[in-house]
Structure 1
Amino acid sequence: MVIEFSKYQGLGNDFILIDNRHAAEPIITPEQAIAICDRHFGIGGDGVIFALPGKASTDYSMRIYNSDGSEPEMCGNGIRCLAKFIADLEANTEVNKSYQIDTLAGLIVPKLENNAEVTVDMGEPELSAPKIPTTLAGIEGKVIAQPLEVADRTWLVTTVSMGNPHCITFVEDSVAIALEQIGPLFEHHPVFPQRTNTEFIEVVKPDYIKMRVWERGAGITLACGTGACASVVAGVLNNQCDRLCTVELPGGCLQINWSATDNRVYMTGPASEVFRGQYSL
């Protein structure tokens, strides 16, 4: 079996995009996705994203397999790449063109700002602990600056869902965090029954923060869009940052706006094609 693919990246978070509009389910298996994502023996990527037919009133549907074969509900950088991929498939050059995309996290609406950037309406953040989900006990059902024991250290964590679970903690120096050791311990901590993404945030100033991330199912990545959104929400809840904030990730910067008007989170950042090709399974 030979598949055609396109490789896209958003701030170095790279994905293999597959035109799956002819079928309602992904045309490859999670096991095949693991092989394709291998950076030595495959194409290499943080995940495989499928552009599927839309449902009801939506234009398209999105599915994604992480590099470990797991399936997340959504991916912020990934949906920007998907929007750019769809526009390229349609040969669309219209500025401010938006798409209604069905995801496992619900309806997401990305808008093409120009040839390089996409703004995504990421929806409202979920703060209810059972819906994130986490078994951590918080005040009024929310986990904000609650202690969590990981690796013989007490961390103050805030949990947020942007359609997928995030655990955010604020640190003095994000570079000093040994992600490869501490990340898996957070991801697989028993208080997160569906595992979790974990963000380590260094506040530079109220409108500018630095973030390093351990992604559930992908490990260390150069960027995480939903994580950037969740981190700004957590920053506001902890009086650490403004609602309109630049988030610096190892791969570059995202602009995040948690609107006080409609409670929705808006993410703006780049997405671009790297190359196209064929792959034999």
Structure 2
Amino acid sequence: MPIPFRKMHGLGNDFVVIDARATPLSMTTRRAAALADRYTGIGCDQLIVLEPSDQADVRMRIFNTDGSEVEACGNASRAVGLLLADERGGSTRIETLGGLIHALATAEGVTVDMGVPRFDWKDIPLAYAMDTLHLPVGWEDLNGPVAVNVGNPHVIFFVPDADAIDLARLGPLIENDPLFPARINVNVASLIGPDHLRLHVWERGVGLTRACGTGACATAIGAMRRKLVGRTVRVDLPGGPLSIAWTADDRILMTGPAQTSFVGSFVDADYPA
């Protein structure tokens, strides 16, 4: 039978969203990768499957283009918050593998409470203990990153010019380094003004991306911890800007747009589990 989906994006970071709350759908690594393929499938950076939740309004499962299931996706959280806004009165509690988050849709966009960041080396996770504010490691010209877990793991390198870094080459080397047993998302950022950052992201299991919500959150938190910016910062990604705030009670608030591109359906048998 045809399975409906909605193609959505947040600043060009695009998703195939399947609502499986009423009709369960088996999703495997093989099926997720096939659906995400831009040549032979529907095509997306992440495949999102919505399921019933015992502890929130909805459970959001997130699969990268390689079919791996991951803990969090900030842009997808905004997309789901927008999708369910009318149903939930604008406010949606979302269960993810990275924890419970809350999305609030308004006329200005969607604000997502991403929870409290984690900094302990075991929470990133790293292969062994070290200071996550200044990791004593490097890869060629990228040295001394910050490590932050914002539902999923990130390292952030602060450089004079983020646009000058060949992240397409260095990203996969860092992502798959043995230091990161769960692999890692790689962020390269530069300060371009007061409380204003430019960011490029190599996303674990995806590659270079036009936007990464958790990457923007992690980068902002890393910059705040290093006293480079204040508690509210604008982060410019290739797809556009996000606003990130770190509240007095340590919660991360991310605000930005989300949109529906189109709706469609696929035949279950064409993408076997």
Whether the 8 Å CA contact 1:205–1:241 is kept in 2: the answer is no
1:1-281 equivalence runs, <5 A: 1-22=1-22, 26-56=25-55, 58-87=56-85, 90=87, 94=89, 97-114=90-107, 117-135=109-127, 137-138=129-130, 142-150=131-139, 152-153=140-141, 155-259=143-247, 261-280=248-267, 281=270
Instruction: Spell out, residue by residue over 1:148-197, the C-alpha distance to the aligned partner (whole angstroms, 9 max, x if none).
Output: 132x4451111000011000010111111112110001100111110000
| Cα distance in 2, alignment partners of residues 205 and 136 from structure 1 | 35
Q: Give the root-mean-square deviation of aligned CA atoms.
A: 1.6
Deviation at 1:136, TM superposition (A): 5.3
Is 27-36 or 46-55 further displaced after alignment? 27-36
Whether the 8 Å CA contact 2:13–2:210 is kept in 1: the answer is yes
Whether the 8 Å CA contact 1:12–1:251 is kept in 2: the answer is yes
Whether the 8 Å CA contact 2:142–2:157 is kept in 1: the answer is no
| Cα distance in 2, alignment partners of residues 214 and 71 from structure 1 | 17
| Cα distance in 2, alignment partners of residues 76 and 235 from structure 1 | 18
Q: Which runs of 5 or more structure 2 residues have no equivalent in the other structure?
A: none
SS in 1 for 2:181: coil
Whether the 8 Å CA contact 1:145–1:238 is kept in 2: the answer is no
Using the aligned pairs only, state the percent identity. Answer: 43
Whether the 8 Å CA contact 1:255–1:267 is kept in 2: the answer is yes
Deviation at 1:98, TM superposition (A): 1.1
Q: Which runs of 5 or more structure 1 residues have no equivalent in the other structure?
A: none
Paired residues, number = 268
Whether the 8 Å CA contact 1:20–1:27 is kept in 2: the answer is no
| Cα distance in 2, alignment partners of residues 136 and 166 from structure 1 | 16
The one-letter code matched in structure 2 to 1:145 is H
Instruction: Spell out, residue by residue over 1:216-244, the C-alpha distance to the aligned partner (whole angstroms, 9 max, x if none).
Output: 01111101101101101100111211210
Is 77-86 or 8-17 further displaced after alignment? 77-86
SS in 1 for 2:78: helix
Deviation at 1:203, TM superposition (A): 0.5
SS in 1 for 2:84: helix
The one-letter code matched in structure 2 to 1:231 is T
SS in 2 for 1:147: coil
| Cα distance in 1, alignment partners of residues 142 and 74 from structure 2 | 29
Whether the 8 Å CA contact 1:6–1:17 is kept in 2: the answer is yes
State TM-score, norm by structure 1. Answer: 0.91
SS in 1 for 2:76: helix
Deviation at 1:135, TM superposition (A): 2.9
Deviation at 1:211, TM superposition (A): 0.3
State TM-score, norm by structure 2. Answer: 0.94
Deviation at 1:23, TM superposition (A): 5.0
